[in-house]
């Protein structure tokens, strides 16, 4: 175990981080298992090394109901993520992985897309509260890959990417999906839409529809994304929008 309250430990770790920046060229940090030490400690390392970006892994359990599925309201879960950023410094480079969005998306794409509209009408994950500080993802090396601890439904992974790559937040693409699963071209097309239309971490999200078989949302009045098997949504798409890319149970205009 490392005693992060030990001043010598802090000094040597800060020196190492600054060496990684100055000599090796790293400019961002990932704080692994960040719930294992206080946000005050993470703040010391961020303040004294001044990275351009920092993201924390704060993986806690969602609130579940008697049916074994996540409750609609996950405010306590995302509040933990917000609290960490607040304590580290909301005006600095600190962000957290949006595990709330990940957990809800896991279930929503299995015929429960109504979950993607929270009780306040906004996105139900951290991106609904503080998108500038939320790093969204579909899977990572813990949840997917060989560890397979909380995997996204494998036949619906592209619905997950259609969501995070069109929505606010800072989306993160999983190496396995991009290089090993044969999804590179599909993901690339979504990235191109995001880049071309200037969608960013604080883009405006308007949820048009959220039913069991259909999720429809408009981002920055420029991009519309549809998830789910419902095919006939033409009456919900404003004039002037053309399909940019589509795949299994998703489309982007």
Report the C-alpha gap between 122 and 66 in whole angstroms.
25
98 is catalytic: no
Residue 62 is classified by DSSP as P
Edge-to-edge strand ranges of the sheet holding 245-247: 205-211, 214-219, 223-227, 250-252, 245-247
Within 21-137, residue ranges assigned H as helices are: 39-49, 75-88, 99-108
* Residue 57 annotated to the active site: yes
CB 10 within 8 A of CB 2: no
Residues with Cβ < 8 Å from 27, sequence gap 6 or more? Answer: 21, 51, 52, 53
Residue of 1, 32, 67, 232 marked active site: 32
Handedness of CA 42, 45, 46, 52 (dihedral sign): negative
Indicate the SS3 state at residue 250.
strand
* Kind of pairing between the strands at 28-31 and 134-137: unpaired
Cβ neighbors of 1 (< 8 A, separation 6 or more) are none
User: Helix, strand, or coil here: 166?
Assistant: coil
Please identify which of the residues 57, 80, 110, 176 carries the catalytic annotation: 57
Distance CA 176, CA 184 (A): 10
| Catalytic positions | 32, 57
């Amino acid at each position: 175990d490392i005693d992060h309250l030990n001043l010598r430990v802090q000094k040597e770790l800060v020196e190492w981080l600054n060496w990684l920046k100055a000599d090796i060229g790293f400019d961002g940090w990932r704080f692994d298992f960040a719930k294992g030490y206080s946000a005050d400690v993470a703040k010391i390392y961020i303040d004294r090394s001044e990275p351009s970006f920092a993201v924390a892994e704060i993986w806690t359990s969602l609130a579940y109901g008697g049916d074994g599925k996540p409750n609609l309201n996950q405010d306590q879960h995302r509040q933990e993520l917000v609290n960490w950023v607040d304590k580290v410094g909301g005006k600095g480079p600190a962000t957290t992985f949006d595990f709330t969005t990940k957990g809800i998306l896991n279930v929503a794409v299995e015929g429960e897309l109504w979950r993607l509209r929270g009780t306040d009408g906004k996105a139900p994950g951290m991106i609904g509260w503080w998108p500038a500080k939320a790093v969204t993802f579909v899977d990572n090396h813990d949840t997917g890959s060989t560890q397979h601890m909380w995997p996204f439904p494998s036949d619906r992974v592209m619905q997950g990417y259609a969501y995070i790559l069109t929505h606010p937040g800072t989306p993160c693409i999983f190496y396995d999906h991009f290089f090993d699963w044969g999804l590179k071209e599909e993901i690339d097309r979504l990235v191109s839409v995001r880049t071309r239309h200037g969608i960013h971490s604080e883009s405006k999200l308007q949820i048009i529809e959220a039913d069991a078989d259909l999720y429809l949302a408009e981002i920055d009045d420029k991009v519309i994304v549809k998830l789910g098997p419902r095919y006939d949504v033409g009456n919900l798409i404003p004039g002037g929008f053309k399909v940019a890319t589509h795949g299994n149970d998703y489309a982007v205009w």
